[in-house]
């Protein structure tokens, strides 16, 4: 079970590294590239916008997300539905992304130009976050990290809020994780108040991914697991161990089980009906024996 969690997290954090990287920042540099967009009818207030840049070695660096039309100055939904040239921009504290191109039947494409804001770089540096510092072994291949900061709308106000939460030392990667996974000071405080005072940023990311929040902690406590470690709550979410499942198993006379027992039962699809059948053959059957019955080795 732990391996499954680690694989998921490695994938998530690898995605973050691809998106934001650890790159050199030169505030005066201008980043250019191509953009594509699609406005879907089922989400009239949203538009999916992706940006693609060429790397020094000829590769591609691409990132995209949905934006509100209100975030894009000079672009309306009506413009995306007709065949016309467009010029719009995304204004952020970290800098401005200016786009030119055209739309046809809800789909658009063109080129963009990103101009970073040196005042933002200075303001973040004064807070202990140096976007000009590189951990890359080859500075000539570095991309502009500020571009990711602008697309994700990481701001000094959000940074100040995180710092005010007194959640330990944070680095620039922590800021990106926080904005991507919506880890707010309020969420931090709620997790602390629910009994998890020592969670780090990666734990909080894990909590967001698997939807472990203060409300879920209360529900777990109501199930009879009020002193479980954080990782056990994550497993409960992954394997969908719900109050209904617990009640179903306990109704068959199996009580005082721990989380690992329930996880095994979920993995091997041992439900109330299977327990009832197994107990009809052996009233004292154990969880391990039911697992063996499922895989066909019981009694061999």
Q: What confidence score (pLDDT) does residue 18 get?
A: 45
Residues of the chain below pLDDT 70: 1-28, 56, 133-144, 297-300
Query: In this structure, what token pair is assigned to residue 38?
Result: 């699609």
What's the pLDDT score for residue 8? 57
DSSP string, 9-48: HHHHHHHHHHHH------TT--EEEEEEEE--TT-TTEEE
* E strand or H helix at 266: helix 259-267
Q: Are 20 and 171 in contact (CB under 8 A)?
A: no
Q: Nearest to residue 77, comparing CAs of 87, 65, 64, 68?
A: 68
In what helix (H) or strand (E) does residue 117 lie, and over which residues does it extend?
none
Q: In what order do the strands lie in the sheet with 46-54?
A: 60-68, 46-54, 31-38, 107-116, 95-104, 84-92, 72-73
Residue 218 class from Cβ within 10 Å (0-12 exposed, 13-18 middle, 19+ buried)? exposed
The confidence score (pLDDT) of residue 17 equals 46
Phi, psi (deg, nearest 5) at residue 71: -80, -20
Beta bridge partners of 33: 112
pLDDT of residue 154: 95
Closest CA to 270 of 239, 235, 228: 239
Query: In whole angstroms, what is the distance from residue 39 CA to residue 47 CA?
Result: 5
What pLDDT does 26 receive? 40
pTM: 0.76
């Amino acid at each position: 079970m732990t391996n499954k969690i680690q694989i998921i997290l490695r994938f998530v954090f690898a995605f973050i590294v691809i998106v934001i990287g650890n790159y050199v920042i030169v505030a005066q540099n201008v980043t250019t590239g191509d953009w594509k967009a699609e406005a879907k009818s089922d989400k009239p207030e949203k538009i999916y916008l992706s940006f693609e840049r060429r790397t020094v070695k000829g590769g591609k660096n691409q990132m995209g997300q949905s934006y509100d039309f209100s975030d894009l100055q000079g672009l309306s939904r009506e413009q995306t539905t007709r065949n016309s040239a467009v010029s719009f921009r995304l204004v952020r504290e970290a800098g401005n992304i200016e786009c030119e191109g055209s739309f046809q039947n809800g789909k658009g494409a063109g080129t963009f130009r990103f101009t970073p804001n040196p005042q933002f770089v200075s303001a973040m540096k004064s807070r202990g976050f140096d976007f000009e510092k590189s951990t890359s072994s080859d500075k000539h291949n570095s991309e502009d990290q500020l571009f990711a900061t602008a697309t994700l709308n990481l701001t000094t106000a959000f940074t100040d809020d995180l710092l005010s939460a007194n959640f330990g030392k944070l680095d620039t990667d922590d800021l990106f994780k926080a904005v991507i996974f919506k880890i707010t000071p309020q969420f931090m405080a709620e997790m602390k108040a629910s009994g998890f005072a020592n969670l780090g940023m990666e734990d909080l990311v894990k909590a967001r991914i698997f939807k472990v929040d203060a409300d879920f902690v209360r529900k777990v406590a109501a199930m009879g697991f009020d002193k479980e470690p954080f990782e056990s709550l994550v497993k409960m979410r992954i394997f969908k161990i719900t109050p209904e499942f617990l009640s179903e198993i306990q109704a068959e006379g199996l009580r005082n089980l721990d989380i690992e027992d329930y996880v095994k039962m979920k993995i091997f699809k041992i439900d109330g009906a299977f327990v009832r059948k197994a107990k009809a053959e052996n009233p004292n059957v154990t969880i391990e024996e039911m697992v063996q019955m499922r895989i066909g080795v019981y009694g061999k």
